[in-house]
């Protein structure tokens, strides 16, 4: 199987397994395990904390040792974590499964995209990310259907099935995944790894584009916890006696289908050789997300609330593959996985920092007020994405002839070369 087809398979199957396990996961925690609201929140907090702590070390390992090894290990850990989560209905088991699953997620995060950028032909990278995003949404759609059907048999069954499929994907990758176009940097010691982190921080600090993306991701992450935790409870009063599982399953299906269509349309306007356009599209999407979240908090009718809820979900799903394309164009191959991990770490830090104040507003005022405040957090991200897009290099007439995935702004290349010449510098 070609790397292009394998990347698409990973997106589709991985999304199906994850969505099957998590679509109605909160129902399992609340009804079967009997977790209190505080315990439910602590599970999410632990998940984000583990992701935050593990992002940079796992990204460095992917850059220093092997992206392939990092991806395979990640899917095996995620599958094991889900099996622990769904097989033992206790709070301790859920916490243990959360730690295992979260480490697996950060092993895959960044390394998967960096592997794809290296192994897929440069002229097909943008198409791979766009099609991968579409197949991710298709897998989510099938996973929603599977979750609703399996929950009717047993509440824990979707989690167990998701874990088994994830483990099977990890085993498949062990035999089907290759790594031919990338060579790991020499590994001397953990001190060398520490120097790589320092070097990566300097690369981000000296790149206006990466610094802008990092800051925008932080603010976007701060808003996501409020929407994820509060939007469904906000919609509950509108449902009346309708079955909650079927309603939210149907809404998730509609959001997945819409995201596939919007991602395909966005793919016609973005390309790694036109980073300015990619940045502008992402800034517009974030502006629409902010407007949708702020308006959702004030919605007083069912159709208005549902329309805004679906719109925000659709746009958030579409933003992820577009950001991946931009990061590929702004990073060098040797440090790409670690930079992806740093960006994901900023997202986790934003979620940890932004969740409590939004929750406090929702508790003291109203759920809608908390969602609107979360939408306000997105506004700085819009400005930072727009500023970063303005600093992106303008494509030259002959730029299409040069492999896009190996280029970055000239200042970034010069800075990286100067750091590579110093022993104390560490590549990120």
Indicate whether 322 pLDDT > 60.
yes
- Which tokens hold the place of 46? 């632990």
pLDDT attached to residue 121? 80
Give the CA count within 13 Å in the CB-facing half-sphere of 119. Answer: 22
Q: Return d(Cα 264, Cα 266) in angstroms, integer.
A: 5
Residue 428 falls inside a structural domain: no
Q: Does residue 177 or residue 340 have the better pLDDT?
A: 177
- Domain containing 116 equals 3-420
Residue 215 vs residues 166, 222, 297, 373: alpha-carbon distances, Å = 32, 11, 25, 18
What pTM value is reported for the model?
A: 0.67
pLDDT attached to residue 167? 96
Q: Per residue in 168-196, pLDDT tens?
A: 999 999 999 988 877 665 554 455 556 65
Q: Does residue 321 or residue 131 have the better pLDDT?
A: 131
Q: Return d(Cα 211, Cα 77) in angstroms, integer.
A: 31
Residue 67 falls inside a structural domain: yes
Give the pLDDT mean for 216-243: 80
pLDDT attached to residue 266? 66
Of 81, 60, 62, nearest to 72 (Cα)? Answer: 62
Tally of domains in the chain: 1
Q: Per residue in 354-403, pLDDT tens?
A: 877 887 787 788 878 888 998 999 999 999 988 888 876 665 544 443 43
pLDDT attached to residue 334? 67
Indicate whether 119 pLDDT > 60.
yes
What CATH number is associated with residue 146? 1.20.1250.20
Q: Return d(Cα 146, Cα 161) in angstroms, integer.
A: 9
């Amino acid at each position: 199987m070609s790397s292009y087809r394998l990347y698409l398979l990973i997106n589709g199957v991985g999304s199906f397994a994850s969505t099957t396990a998590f679509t109605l996961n909160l129902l399992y925690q609340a009804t079967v395990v009997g977790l209190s609201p505080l315990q439910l929140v602590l599970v999410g907090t632990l998940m984000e904390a583990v992701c935050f702590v593990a992002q940079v070390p796992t990204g460095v390992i992917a850059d220093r040792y092997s992206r392939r090894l990092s991806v395979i290990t990640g899917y095996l850990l995620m599958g094991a974590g889900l099996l622990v989560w769904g097989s033992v209905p206790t709070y301790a088991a859920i916490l243990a499964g959360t730690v295992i699953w979260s480490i697996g997620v950060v092993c895959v995060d960044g390394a998967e995209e960096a592997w794809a950028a290296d192994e897929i032909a440069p002229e097909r990278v943008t198409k791979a990310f766009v099609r991968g995003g579409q197949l991710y949404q298709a897998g989510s759609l099938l996973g929603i259907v599977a979750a609703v059907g399996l929950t009717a048999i047993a509440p824990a069954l979707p989690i167990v099935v998701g874990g088994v499929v994830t483990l099977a994907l990890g085993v498949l990758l062990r035999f089907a995944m290759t790594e031919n176009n990338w060579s790991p940097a020499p590994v001397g010691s953990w001190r060398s790894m520490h120097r790589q982190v320092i070097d990566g921080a300097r690369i981000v600090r000296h790149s206006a584009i990466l610094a802008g993306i990092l800051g925008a991701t932080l603010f976007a992450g701060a808003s996501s916890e409020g929407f994820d935790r509060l939007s469904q409870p906000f919609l509950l009063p509108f449902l009346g006696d309708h079955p909650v599982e079927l309603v939210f399953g149907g809404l998730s299906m509609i959001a997945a289908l819409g995201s596939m269509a919007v991602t395909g349309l966005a793919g016609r306007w973005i390309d790694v050789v036109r980073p300015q356009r990619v940045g502008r599209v992402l800034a517009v999407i974030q502006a629409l997300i902010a407007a949708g979240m702020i308006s959702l908090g004030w919605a007083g009718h069912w159709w208005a609330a549902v329309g805004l809820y679906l719109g925000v979900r659709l746009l958030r799903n579409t933003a992820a593959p577009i950001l991946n394309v931009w990061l590929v164009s702004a990073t060098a191959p040797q440090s790409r996985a670690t930079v992806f991990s740093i960006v994901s770490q900023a997202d986790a830090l934003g979620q940890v920092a932004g969740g409590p104040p939004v929750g406090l507003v929702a508790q003291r005022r109203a759920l809608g007020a908390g969602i609107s405040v979360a939408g306000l957090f997105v506004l700085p991200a819009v400005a930072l994405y727009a500023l970063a897009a303005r600093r992106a290099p303008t494509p030259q007439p002959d730029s299409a002839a040069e492999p896009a995935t190996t280029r970055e702004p000239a200042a970034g290349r010069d800075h990286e070369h100067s750091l590579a010449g110093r022993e104390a510098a560490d590549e990120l």
